[in-house]
Amino acid sequence: MKILVADRISQAGLDRLRGLGCDVVCSPDLAGEALVRALAESDCRVLMVRGTKVTAEAIRANRQLSLIVRVGAGYNSIDVRAASAASVMVANCPGRNATAVAELTLGLILALDRRIPDNVADLRAGKWAKKEYSKALGLKGRTLGIVGVGRIGERVVLRALAFEMNVVGWSRSLTPKAASGLGIVRVETPEDVAACSDIVSVHLAANADTNKLIGEAFFAAMKPGAYFVNTARAEVVDHEALAQAIREKGLRVALDVFPNEPDAHDTVFKDSIVKLDGIVYGTHHIGASTDQAQDAVADEAFEVVKEYSATGNVRNCVNLSVGTNPKGVLVVRHRNRPGVLANVLGELSRAGINVREMENVICEGEEGAYAQIRLDSEPSSDVLTRIAKSDENILGITLTAAK
C-alpha cells in the first residue's frame, strides 16, 4: 500500500509505516497546487497530513485515494464533504495531544495574570517596571469556567484544581454525575459559564453546532476585566464580538488560534486583534506542539494505518453516515462458497434496493457463514423469495426491522 506523507512526521514514524510493508513517500513541503499535482501523479491509497490543507480539488486529483489521516485531533483543514462524495474515508487522532493543549492553556492563564510577555518585552527593551508588574490577582480561589469538557477540558480541570481554583463547566454531554466526578460544578449554558467565571477557557470542537457559539451574548455575560483563553478552534468564536468586548469590557485575552492563520509556508501574520489596546496575547497555534504530543499522535496515526492495511476498517473515522437508519436488515445464512452474495446483491439491485452496509461472518470450520445486509428499503415477499432461490448454497434468510 502506497502512502503519501504531505507534512513533517518523525523519522521513527516513517520507519514504522515502512515496517508494515507500505511504500511511503514523504514530501513535507507539499501545499496548494503542489499537493494537487502530487496526488494527480501518485497512485497512493493513503494521504497523511498535519496542518496541510486538503481541498476538494486535491481529493479529486487521485482516484486511488481511499483514506486521509489527519495526524492530529482536529480535521477542519480537510474538505470532509468532498472526501465523502469521493468515498474517501477521513480519520483523525483524537485525545493524544490533550495534555499538551492543557499545559499551554494553563501557561496562557498564568501569562495573563502575571503579564509575563510584557515583563519580558520591557526587560529586553532595558526597562525596569517592578511596580507595574507587581499587580496580579493570583489564581488561588478564582473561578475558571470551561466551555467544552472533553478530553482536553478534563485535563485543564485537573491542573486548575492543583492551583486551588474553583471550576465550573458546560458541555452538551456533561452530566451532573460526570461533573461531580471531576470535582467541578455543571452549569446549564455557555452564558452561565461566562457570567460566573473570572477566567474562561474554550475547548470546543469546530462543527456546525459550535460555529461562533462564543459570540455577543457570551461576551456580554462575562465580568469586566475577566480573562478569556481559546486554545481550541477559531471558528467557535465570533472574533468581531471578542474585539468589541476587549475594547468595552477590558477583557484580558490569550489566543492560540486565529480565523485566518498563515499556511505552513507563509510567515506573515495579519490578524489585528493582537494589536488592540489592552492585554491581548497570542501564540502560533502550538497547543499540540510538544515532542510528547507529536510522538503520541504519530503512534495513533500508525495504528490507524495498521488496522486499515490489515482489515480495511478505519479507526477514528470522522465521516461515517449518521442519523439515517436502514429500513431493514436482511440476514442470509449460507454455505461459504464463491458467488453466493453476488447472487443476493444481484436480486437486490434488480429490485432497486440499495445496500447501506454489509457484514459477512465466517463460522468456525469455515463451512458456513451469515451475512447481515442493511437496506435502504424493505424488499417485498416476492424479492425475498427470489433471493432465497438465487443460489443453492443459501440455507435461509430473515428480514428484521432495523434498530
Active site residue 261: yes
Catalytic residue among 57, 216, 261, 303: 261
C-alpha cell at 196: 460566573
**Half-sphere exposure at residue 9, Cβ-oriented, CA atoms within 13 angstroms:** 31
Cα–Cα distance for residue pair 394/85, rounded to 1 Å = 34
Integer Cα distance of 239 and 225 in angstroms: 17
Q: What's the DSSP call for residue 177?
A: H
Measure the CA–CA gap between 149 and 172, rounded to whole angstroms.
9
Contact 106, 159 (CB under 8 A): yes
Catalytic residue among 16, 45, 50, 233: 233
85-111 core/surface letters (b: 16 or more CB in 10 A; e: else): eeebbbbbbbbbbbbbbbbbbbbbbeb
Sequence-distant (6+) residues with CB within 8 A of 293 are 96, 97, 99, 100, 101
Q: How many CB atoms lie within 10 A of CB 131?
A: 7
Given 151, 285, 333, 374, which residue is catalytic?
Answer: 285
Q: How many CB atoms lie within 10 A of CB 15?
A: 10
Q: How far is residue 209 from each of residues 204, 212, 213, 236, 320, measured CA to CA in Å?
A: 10, 9, 8, 9, 18
Which residues is 66 bridged to in the sheet? none
Q: Cα dihedral sign for 116, 117, 118, 124?
A: positive
Number of H helices, E strands in the chain: 15, 16
CA 256 – CA 283 distance, rounded (Å)? 5
Indicate if 233 belongs to the active site.
yes
Q: Does 334 participate in catalysis according to the annotation?
A: no
All three cell numbers of 131:
511596580
Which residue, 241, 255, 256, 253, is CA-closest to 277?
Answer: 253
Residues assigned a catalytic role: 233, 261, 285
